Structure 1
């Protein structure tokens, strides 16, 4: 029997979803692969250290989170017997240089200035790799390390007081701080550290039934998962692994075939900035071994094949394999998770449909009313579609109805095989205040208009309304054999200009479309079918419609009053119409 390569195996399992039973020979190949992988990460560490010996030659002038990993990678190289730098004294001055600088930069309360000023949580982030370095150096008896170990202890213990007493800004900070305290306690035991951890934990680790943490952020979910695993491991609290398992399940269903994660429902900055599943590698790897989870093992191996793994994950792995012996155990044989699914995440009104390399994302909105602020999901992207490398990053729907801007569905419902998005907006005019609310000085309550568009000193809530205008928009989406049919209906007030905006990944090519005047990548399809191509993949869409050219002010008053824009990079295609508007588009 031929033993298939790891790359071929993953392509079959995760690329096209073929179920493969593992023969004993293949299973043995995976055990052999453990040694090969360890050699690979040692070589990656060697490569990183070779760079560090050059980049650390000048004086260190600023505190960076990366400094913790630089010291940790040097320590790992020094302590790993198979490393080209094993016990090489030339590394010690560079470790000393980093920790001397951090000790000098440390405030009297133990905090550092980076990210935020005198920040306990940001200090906790740098402590993760520094404590890992401290753990592996502790077992090394080389006299040349005495200064480094002494300064590390000075810095870590002082920082421990900052975390024991200091505060946080956001939900994930509680667990970052607690994880750092758990690592400090493992090095330099102190019941006060453990007491503080339990004080934070007593607030409860929230994870909803879909697997979302409070911030619903992929960026910070990776942080929380890693932190909870650290606390659970070091304080012997395996119950903390359960929310991590739920979250990692959700993450997989949010992952595109190329590893990018859907973040449209995030409450943090990643709702507009892409992030990949690379950041969850440690968590899948750890729990795959700890739980004998065969699907998590397959996902970990899949992550290893993604672009950026060597540069963003592998080069920092060695220190964790030396810090925690669990990492050196072989992964269980991988079992392919499904690449054909339809998932409705009711907690965030998000739908994910995947058929091998074709995916659909539908977002029905959440966090109402729409407020532009960190900590609230407010993305107007209601639809996305991918077919291999051809990517429709998002679709948006906007109108000039009283400058209310982008459509934000008021949830998503399913009727048969169709997902339904809906929004109803009422925009009134206001009558004079009743006599009992009038003020002689004219200084009325500063309040928000009842339609939520703006604020003024008009005491809107007490004013009678008249001339009420209404716009009701419904978008029905049904998946049919790998394509999606979207039916738009917008009615109520007549004569409202509507715009359907497509944003395709930059760098592709469009066929059958008309370039609009101006330097921007703006196109339209007046009728018939259009096609977007990228590499060997393509997306067909249409029929087009273009009845007006009013394409400005799409964001609406909430954004434009702050001179903001939600336009992103990409190739933008616009369909337009006027209410009452009915149109059906097929994308596939």
Structure 2
């Protein structure tokens, strides 16, 4: 048995053995004490099959796993519908894309069993093969409903082609691939999901690139993985503050998909950035079953060349400069708004423990992290026809470490409709062609934000002077696991403190973000239609136009006294 703890494969074997030990111990305890044990299924097979087939594992050919694997296979097979699909039971029913996720993983576990040549695993191997056979009509005819599903489907079809050799799988994969990749010039996918779906696209497109010899798939991976070097916070968590998917605002590390794809691409390209990112995944990712499976199937492709980290924690990059995305400008806003829209400008600024993200296209326009202290977002809300927080269409660089966001908001009222447009509507407003109403009392409110990046934080200048007596409010949303202090903080409402004068300091474990300075030019607790983040410590500052103020965010460590 290989016991070299510095060998990556051996390390992964030991990790999976520990996880399987814990799972089996808990299952035995639950059964003995009359509790319903955790369900069996494909997840258990991904733990047990690789260890059962791995000569360096203590579970190699362990007869004690036979019943668990058989029950897991039986329960997993029972989830497959007559269509060949499975359901994501809390969301997607009779789902081809969820089946594609599953088939891709099934194919890998199947190949581990097949590659072992063990007669003892043949029943499990045959069952997995049968699952893939039954999934054929699902994958060849089924559709998708999110952009990344196309690449997941293509990856699953590539694995099916590799195993079955049926050209129909390749043809179907290229029906999706021929749509072209939904990626910006700097490597960002439509869904802008740095913690989840970037990795999903990459791991599935790798198989597309290798199995079909399709170089554009590998180029798409390279662009996205290259962008990701700018998307890590000081604790190596992923920038999720502008995601368009369920990882939005979550604190997440790079997952096993990242672990695998950075190792595969670093080995393929010998790219020093990929090598360095792979090294980070070795420290932060879960390194679960997928990691072990890929090391068993592709040991040479997973092995990293010797390298020294080349990643910098001091950079400023503006991605998507001048990209204009749709945001509410004309109130009432009659167009379709895409939340966290594709290609919206993102400014990333790192100085060691300081991490700043400025974001166009969404109301949460600024994220700051210093060590363990985090401000989830800064919003600028306006008392302007119920707009709530303002989103800006783009970010532009205006000088050295200086950037701006601008918008001209329109507000108006509407004239009566001619009789021919209201006839037969019975006076019901929502049934009338209200988009045809002529505007009256049209007004325009320019709002400008300037950002000056600093070594110890940044300054945000807020300017709006065209119309007097308009209420504005800055809302800072801090991590609830930290603490707020400041003589000028007043309780305004549950989850809301107003900074009426002076400074507020947010601190967590010695890392601090100071906000300067407070203002209470009006008494409103929040702007109409502004959604309060009840999962945050909210600090507000109130202004009345004409406004020309600068909010300073200064970061420091509390040890050593006041750093003002």
Q: Classify the TM-score, shorter chain.
A: 0.7 to 0.9
Paired residue for 1:485, among 445, 448, 459?
A: 459
Mapped partners of 2:4, 2:395: distance in 1:
45
SS of residue paired to 1:271: coil
Query: What secondary structure sits across from 1:199 in the alignment?
Result: helix
For residues 519 and 466 of structure 1, the distance between their equivalents in structure 2, rounded to whole angstroms, comes to: 37
In structure 2, relative to structure 1, the CA distance for the partners of 1:328 and 1:423 (3 Å cut) is closer
Deviations 1:305-325 (A, max 9, x none): 23xx3xx33454211211223
How far apart are the structure 2 equivalents of 1:506 and 1:161? Answer: 49
Corresponding position of 2:329: none
CA contact (8 A) 1:515 1:522 kept: no
**2:56 corresponding residue in structure 1:** 82
Alignment of 1:174-573 (within 5 A): 174-218=150-194, 219-278=196-255, 279-306=257-284, 309=285, 312-314=286-288, 316-346=290-320, 347-365=343-361, 379-417=362-400, 418-434=402-418, 437-442=420-425, 456-517=430-491, 520-556=494-530, 565=531, 567-573=533-539
SS at match of 2:78: helix
Q: Distance in 2 between the 1:509 and 1:552 partners?
A: 22
Cα–Cα, structure 1 residues 439 and 521, in superposed 2: closer, same or farther, change >3 Å? closer
Cα separation, partners in 2 of 1:186 and 1:340, compared to 1, 3 Å: same
Cα deviation for residue 506 of structure 1 reads: 1.7
What is residue 585 of structure 1 aligned with on the other side? 551
Query: Contact 2:469 / 2:546 at 8 angstroms: preserved in 1?
Result: yes
Deviations 1:388-408 (A, max 9, x none): 112121100102222111111
Q: 1:62 to 1:180 in 2, by over 3 A?
A: farther
2:10 to 31, 39, 57: 39
Paired residue for 1:95, among 42, 61, 69?
A: 69
Distance in 1 separating the partners of 2:528 and 2:7: 54
Please state whether the residue corresponding to 2:512 is helix, strand or coil.
strand
Q: Which has the higher contact order (CA 8 A, sep 6+)?
A: 1
Structure 1's unaligned 5+ residue stretches are 1-31, 366-378, 447-455, 557-564
C-alpha distance in 1 between matches for 2:135 and 2:421: 58
Q: Deviations over 1:198-220 (max 9, x none)?
A: 22222222322110123222221
Shift of the alpha carbon at 1:56?
A: 5.6
CA distance in 1, matches of 2:207, 2:162: 11
CA displacement, residues 538-563 of structure 1 (integer Å, 9 cap, x when unaligned): 1222021122331235545xxxxxxx
Q: 2: distance between equivalents of 1:231 and 1:55?
A: 39
Structure 1 residues 194 and 332, CA gap change in structure 2 (3 angstroms) = farther
What is the CA–CA distance in structure 2 between the aligned matches of 1:356 and 1:552, rounded to whole Å? Answer: 35
CA RMSD in angstroms, aligned pairs only: 2.7
- Kept in 2, the 8 Å contact 1:352–1:361? The answer is yes
Please list the CA deviations of residues 106-135 of structure 1 after superposition, one character each: whole Å capped at 9, or x if unmatched: 112211122411111111112222211110
- In structure 2, how many angstroms separate the alpha carbons of the residues matched to 1:87 and 1:245? 39
CA distance in structure 2 between the aligned counterparts of 1:410 and 1:149, rounded to whole angstroms: 53
Aligned pair count reads 521
Q: Distance in 1 between matches of 2:441 and 2:313?
A: 52
Task: State the Cα distance separating 1:97 from its structure 2 match.
Answer: 1.0
**CA distance in structure 2 between the aligned counterparts of 1:62 and 1:242, rounded to whole angstroms:** 45
CA positional deviation for 1:434: 4.8
C-alpha distance in structure 2 between counterparts of 1:440 and 1:253, whole Å: 58
d(CA) in 1 for partners of 2:346, 2:116? 51
Residue 55 of structure 1: CA displacement?
A: 5.3
Q: State the shift of 1:179 in Å.
A: 1.2
Secondary structure at the counterpart of residue 466 of structure 1: strand
The answer to whether the 8 Å contact 1:68/1:127 transfers is: no
- Is the CA contact 2:483–2:507 (under 8 Å) kept in the aligned structure 1? yes
Tell me whether 316-325 or 389-398 shows the greater mean CA deviation. Answer: 316-325
Q: CA deviation at 1:173?
A: 1.0
